[in-house]
Each structure stands twice: as C-alpha cells, then as structure tokens.
C-alpha cells in the first residue's frame, strides 16, 4: 500500500483536544445561525419598529441599535426607555417587557455601546454611552405618540450606571429604575473583587479621573425632582449592595423620592419575574396614575 505523502512540516494528526472542541464550535455555529435577524424579529412583532441612530464622540461614530414597541392603547402615552447593558439584547428586552406594553406604556430598548448590535467598545460606560443615552431620550421624547413629560428610564448593570449618569445631567426622566449598578466608582475600585477589576481594566484604565467621570454620586444635582426605584441583590459580588445603599442615601438628601428593594437571595442578575411586582407598581404610580390625573 502506497504511503500518503505529506508536505514537509505537515502533521495530519488531529489537534489535541479537537474531539472535545469540535462539538462546542459546531454548537456555537448552530446557535449563531438560529439567532433572530432584525427582519425576522420585526416580522414576528408587528407592533415593533427599529429605533436605530448614530452618535459622534470626537472623531468616532457609533451605531446604536434598538427597538421601539408600541402599546396597543391609543393617544399620547407614557414611555419607558430601557438601556440594555447587562448582557441582554434589545430583542430579548422587548420580549421581556410585554407586560409593560399591556399597561399602556410604550417601551424603547436600546443597547448601549459595546452591547447587543450597537458598536463599541464600551469603555466602561464612557462618553459615547452618555451621548447614546441622551440621544435615545431625545428621540423618544420627540415622537408624536409619546408624552414627553411622562418618560421613565430603566438600566441594569452597566445600563444602570448609564441611566444614573443621564439623571445627573438631564431632568426630563420622571422616574428611574436602577438595577444591579455601581454608582461611586472610586469606592467600587477599592471594594470590587478581582474579576470586576479585570473587567474594568479590559475596557478602560481606571485612573482617578476616569472613575470620577463615571461616578453618578459625584455629579448629582443639588436638588432632584424625580422618583427612583433601586433594585439590588444582596449576594451581588460584582457590584456590592453597599453601592445601592449609598446612592439611595445621596438621592434622598437631594429630595428625590426613593424606593429600594434589596433581594437577600439574588446575585448580580435578578430574574425579571422576581422584580416584576415592584416594577409594575412603580411604573403605575409614577407614570400611569400621574398621567390620568393630568388628563
């Protein structure tokens, strides 16, 4: 039997670990192929439309991806802007908030830079994220079906930091929901586990200036006229619950109406079903009841 000729330096033996690596790669390709495309997602949800836009920071432009879901109720309605920055895509965000739509509230889900289909890098909620959050609020408030005086903002993880920074510089949000976030980054740097520190370093060098720029507490206005719901897991190792406690105290000192829910059995990612009762009650009180009182 004639031997197979190999080129010099060629080894036809399987790579070490290939038999275990190949199934994982194949599964990843299958899952990627099964992801819903924007066109397929919109076809599945006729009440949803794209909510995409661009922001410029310096010489850089960022493509921001999102969706706007319309409540079936008629008239100019309140709206909820969700800043997705905790691993959830804008598609999953829309699907997870069907109950909010049923309440008579439009929902806009926007992926902050570096998340979902939005371009990045994130740079740990840097200037491009602040610009994207503000632009999303501008576009949502300008829509004819939205009552601009009755808009709430909800952020989780990095999205909570983005929502908090938006509160620092913009008085338009009537209500804010801040979930599993960090709000004093200089203190966080001292308290954070090594995994959180490495995640920050991967995005931006944590100088004192950089941490200060991204600290919600350091830039809070002297007076605040808004309602804030703070949600945090007491078992959150990535973002210690002390960050939420500190923010709640600072907000109350400035006149904000603050509600807190600290979940003893929850870690960083809190299941939507766990926070659903508090979320709906908060939106009902701060968007719907005030909206009907003003009609």
pLDDT score recorded for residue 84:
86
Name the pTM for this structure: 0.85
pLDDT score recorded for residue 86:
77
> Has residue 204 got a pLDDT over 60?
yes
Give the span between the Cα atoms of 87 and 159, in whole angstroms.
10
Give the span between the Cα atoms of 145 and 123, in whole angstroms.
34
Could you list the beta-strand ranges (E) of 92-226.
Answer: 106-111, 146-156, 175-179
Give the span between the Cα atoms of 245 and 188, in whole angstroms.
13
Confidence of residue 293 (pLDDT cuts 50, 70, 90): low
Give the span between the Cα atoms of 216 and 219, in whole angstroms.
6
- Which of 144, 133, 137, 166 lies closest to 57, judged by CA? 133
pLDDT score recorded for residue 22:
46
In CATH, the number for domain 39-294 is 3.40.50.1820
∠ CA 179-180-183, rounded to 5°: 95
- Domain residue spans of the chain: 39-294
**Cα distances (angstroms) measured from residue 225 to each of 38, 78, 105, 123, 142:** 38, 18, 21, 30, 21
Confidence of residue 85 (pLDDT cuts 50, 70, 90): confident
Decide: residue 10, CB within 10 A, 0-12 exposed, 13-18 middle, 19+ buried.
exposed
Q: Containing H/E element for 239?
A: none
Q: Which tens digit of pLDDT belongs to each residue from 231-245? A: 999 999 999 999 999
CB atoms within 10 A of CB 172: 16
Q: Which tens digit of pLDDT belongs to each residue from 7-23? A: 444 444 444 443 444 44
Q: Which tens digit of pLDDT belongs to each residue from 142-155? A: 999 999 999 999 99
What pairing do the DSSP bridges indicate for beta strands 106-111 and 66-69?
A: antiparallel
Confidence of residue 55 (pLDDT cuts 50, 70, 90): very high
Give the span between the Cα atoms of 183 and 232, in whole angstroms.
12
């Amino acid at each position: 039997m004639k031997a197979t000729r190999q080129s010099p330096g060629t080894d036809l033996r399987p790579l070490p670990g290939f038999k275990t690596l190949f199934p994982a790669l194949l599964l990843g390709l299958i899952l990627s192929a099964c992801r819903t495309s924007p066109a397929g997602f919109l076809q599945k949800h006729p009440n949803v439309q794209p909510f995409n836009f661009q922001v410029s920071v310096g010489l850089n432009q960022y493509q921001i991806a999102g969706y706007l879901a319309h409540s079936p109720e008629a008239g100019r309605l309140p709206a909820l802007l969700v800043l997705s920055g905790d691993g959830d895509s804008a598609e999953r965000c829309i699907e997870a908030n069907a109950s909010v739509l049923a309440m008579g509230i439009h929902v806009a889900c926007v992926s902050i830079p570096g998340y979902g289909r939005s371009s990045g890098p994130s740079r740990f909620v840097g200037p491009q994220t602040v610009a994207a959050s503000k632009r999303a609020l501008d576009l949502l408030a300008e829509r004819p079906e939205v009552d601009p005086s009755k808009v709430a903002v909800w952020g989780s993880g990095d999205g909570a930091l983005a929502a908090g920074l938006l509160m620092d510089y913009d008085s338009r949000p009537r209500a804010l929901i801040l979930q599993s976030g960090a709000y004093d980054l200089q203190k966080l740097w001292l308290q954070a586990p090594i995994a959180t520190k490495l995640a920050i370093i991967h995005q931006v060098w944590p100088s004192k200036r950089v941490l200060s720029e991204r600290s919600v507490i350091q830039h809070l206005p002297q007076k605040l006229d808004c309602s804030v719901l703070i949600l945090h897991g007491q078992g959150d190792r990535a973002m210690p619950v002390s960050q939420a406690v500190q923010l709640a105290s600072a907000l109350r000192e400035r006149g904000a109406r603050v509600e807190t829910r600290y979940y003893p059995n929850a870690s960083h990612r809190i299941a939507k079903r766990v926070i659903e009762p508090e979320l709906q009650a908060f939106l009902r009180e701060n968007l719907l009841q005030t909206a009907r009182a003003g009609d």
